[in-house]
Chains A and B, each alone.
Chain A
């Protein structure tokens, strides 16, 4: 029986007294890829933030397994005054990962950031920040990925490359594999490639459909 990475019961979250969603139930098992769909404002980001334990549910229960987790959201979640290199090292060490400098350099090369590693992220474009966030996922050896529109700012070179990486379960040349994925994306053409299960969040209710 597969390990339950996330299990939630009667989950609800409200902002300013109004519920975004209520009475949600579901399970994410290890090895699953969940594609979360829904129109703007339906609570997809909120649900992912609850899975990341950044937000608390207003009601209900959520259990999250103690496995290494990686998160890409709309916000960069870096320190703009520390260099890209310092940021990556800081988060990597916080995650309890130690790695040889050569391997860190390989990751930065892969994401096209090696030349800019000593620059501060405040000087990066949105696309570069998103690549830096991907580099952090790899360096922190994240197994359970919570990705909220992780391709939105990427160019035509990196977008297909990283879609393929997710499809293949990781990036072999960087010795990184993930096990479980919850992906929020508006581009439904990716569903067939990346989603094994599809959840739709609509008017506060969660339903599931076959991809």
Chain B
């Protein structure tokens, strides 16, 4: 039963992500345009790896902030979540579905942004897409989803929820961004998995556990 509920909520969230022009596609257009414009500020020769990586990570982080905001807006807009709660839906299923939906939306966005990135930045390594997948695509999206679902839960019942959500989300996601960029660079330059891989995995499990234990408490006022 919980699995069915998880699937229903996940499907609904994904439909909303990709159907709402104001969420997914506006975010893609904005951060994609931002990425393309940044290229104009760089010299015409090949982009140093660190610069390319930083831009890709920063763009992905910016995108995650937008997606998080939109994801919360449609729950609160007509308070549909109140009906879900009164149906006694398992908060665990709700939290997991939110987390997986954010993760999948971020991964699709990551793919589109990297295509734009590779088009506009002359990167040095043909293997970058593999490193990029591990660094920004997987670890960053995974952590952004866990922290994002938790931050949106914490801010859910507050009056200035959009502001509170960012105030919680941004300081928590910044170390993730730095670790993901370092991980990405170390892997691309030396072919090694640095300590950042362990840090990012531990961080994910930490926020994931917090979400599992506290999500129900956060949703009801």
Contact = CB atoms under 8 A, between A and B. Distances in A.
Contacts of A79: 12, 16, 74, 77-78, 80
Interface string B104-129: 00000000000000000000000000
Given A75-B82, A79-B74, A53 B88 contact: yes
Contact of A52 (B8, B20, B82): B82
A90 B78 contact: no
B220 A95 contact: no
A71 B88 contact: no
Interface in B148-195: none
Interface string B65-90: 00000000010011110111111110
Give the interface size class of chain B: 20 to 34
A81 B83 CA distance: 16
Interface residues of A, number: 29
27 contacts: A52-B86, A53-B88, A54-B82, A54-B85, A54-B221, A55-B221, A56-B220, A71-B86, A75-B78, A76-B78, A76-B79, A77-B80, A78-B80, A78-B83, A79-B12, A79-B78, A80-B77, A81-B19, A81-B74, A82-B16, A86-B15, A90-B12, A91-B87, A93-B8, A94-B9, A136-B83, A140-B87
A131 interface: no
A29 to B, nearest CB: 20
Interface of A: 49, 52-56, 66, 69, 71, 73, 75-82, 86, 90-91, 93-96, 121, 136, 140, 146
